[in-house]
Amino acid sequence: MTQTTTADLVRARRPTHVGAALFALALGGFAIGTTEFMTMGLLEEIAAGIDRTNAETGHIITAYAFGVVVGAPIIVALGARLPKRELAIGLILALGIGNAFTALADGYVPVMIARFVAGLPHGAYFGVASLLAASLVRPQAKGRAVSMVMLGLSVATVAGVPASTLLGQSLGWRSAYWAVLVIAIAAAAMIAAVVPHSPANRSASVRGELSALKKPQVLYAVSAGMIGFGGLFAMYSYIAPIVTQVMSLDERWIAAFLLVFGVGSVLGSWLAGILADWNTERSILIGFGSMAVSLLVFFFAAPSAVPAAVLVFVMGALGSVVAITLQMRLMSVAGEAEMLGAALNHSALNVANGLGAALGSVVIAGGYGYRASSLVGAGLAVLGVAIFSAGLAAQRTSRRAASPVSGG
């Protein structure tokens, strides 16, 4: 008798309007993407508000990332038996509450704690939303459906982050976090209205979900994401002071650079689907390698606004390509723990977020200047290539070792 999986249970009911359901799930991703990246655009305002340096304030980005890392595997494992739609609603509302705590927090430590709380549901939401999205369509359209949810992150970088940055600069940085609460409530309402209810999977267990952590290819992919993707965040975490202090532009140009990054990210999300259909593994390697080269060139180009903007666009595209192809890789190699695989991708990327911001802070505090963070980023991206290549080599070795058994 074939065991019924969580995906089978969710797939049992499909909505009449798949597009509306995918949009609702993507809106949750939009809320998450906005709160994740807008802190970088408002870094100087937040630093002034809590009376800290830019480098010290960068640690609140690390706190959010740590919340994602901690929350994703724990929440997914504990929530494995819950109805998926209701779990998604609860997670996006929890994200909204975390942003409300951030807006109300006063001082460095309270703001850092609030950002940690806001990060807890991030990865788990994308895990369950990806599973829901995949269940709404035919198996051969699964990748495109998951990409639609991830597209919410990319659109956030185009619309949500620049808009919230301008809002925070005009009405105070706290107003931006209140705005995310409103978006989260709207997403929860839409999910409740258009995403079909799915029965709880009573056969799921914490041990079953966490079994994915024992798979070598899962660990290789997660490690590559944690290290390699940190390269992007080593530079991008400090885009605001790079624009104002390295390029000597007015702070109003920060939103323009965030917009450029976001447009690149949206293009990358579209491109990632094509590349994943071609070859997921090669796409990851090309993405990391191109990211390393772009970050290296950015160090020399940063004082000039136009070439720097072009490179920011390119890195936005590469970031989406790597993030989405890594997500598809993890969902593929995680086996029946597909939801945890999807969630682990966001844990990995947020370790990268925190690692990149922290290492960038080290070189900045050491007096090497804001653009030196891109050199750190280039080195991390090269390490990402090395780790993922080692995983592919181990996979080929394992398959060769197993082939006589399977053939005999």
* Structure tokens, 276: 């994943």
Report if residue 172 sits inside a domain: yes
Q: How many CB atoms lie within 10 A of CB 366?
A: 10
Residue 203 to residue 313: CA distance in whole angstroms: 45
Is 1 among the domain residues?
Answer: no
- Give the largest Cα separation in the chain, rounded: 71
Residue at 408 is within a domain: no
Query: What region, left, alpha or beta, does residue 108 occupy, with left being phi > 0 and alpha being psi -120 to 50 degrees?
Result: alpha
Per-position DSSP letters for 161-207, written without gaps between them: HHHHHHHHHHH-HHHHHHHHHHHHHHHHHHHHHHSPP----TT--HH
Contact 203, 3 (CB under 8 A): yes
In this structure, is residue 405 part of a structural domain? Answer: no
Find tokens 């600069």 and name the residue. 169
Determine the structural domain holding residue 22 and report its residue range.
6-396
In a domain, residue 241? The reply is yes
pLDDT of residue 6: 47
Taking alpha carbons only, the member of 351, 295, 365, 366 closest to residue 61 is 351
CA torsion through residues 305, 309, 315, 319, sign: positive
Q: What angle do CA 228, 42, 176 make, to 5 degrees?
A: 110
Q: What is the pTM assigned to this prediction?
A: 0.79
- Cα–Cα distance, 160 to 209 (Å, whole number): 33
SS3 letters across 208-275? HHHHHHHCHHHHHHHHHHHHHCHHHHHHHCCHHHHHHHHCCCCCHHHHHHHHHHHHHHHHHHHHHHHH
Residue 403 lies inside a defined structural domain of this protein = no
**Domain-embedded: residue 102:** yes
Q: What is the CATH number of the domain that holds 50?
A: 1.20.1250.20
Q: What is the pLDDT along the chain (408 residues), one digit of tens a residue?
A: 444 444 444 444 444 588 899 999 999 999 999 998 888 788 888 888 887 888 788 888 888 888 988 898 889 888 877 888 999 999 999 999 999 999 999 889 999 999 999 999 998 999 899 889 888 887 777 777 888 888 898 888 788 888 898 899 899 999 999 999 999 999 999 999 999 887 766 666 666 667 777 788 899 999 999 999 999 989 988 888 899 989 988 888 887 888 898 899 889 988 887 787 788 899 999 999 999 999 999 999 988 999 999 999 999 999 999 998 898 898 888 777 777 888 888 888 878 877 888 898 889 888 888 889 999 999 999 999 999 999 999 988 888 877 665 444
Counted domains in the chain? 1
Q: Tokens 């952590």 correspond to what residue?
A: 213
Q: pLDDT tens digits, residue range 240-281? A: 889 998 998 888 888 788 889 889 988 998 888 778 778 889
Cα separation, 179 vs 30, in Å, equals 12
404 domain-assigned: no
Distances, alpha carbon 293 to alpha carbons 96, 187, 260, 289, in Å: 37, 38, 19, 7
What's the chain's average pLDDT?
86
Dihedral over alpha carbons 232, 233, 237, 241 (to 10 degrees): -40
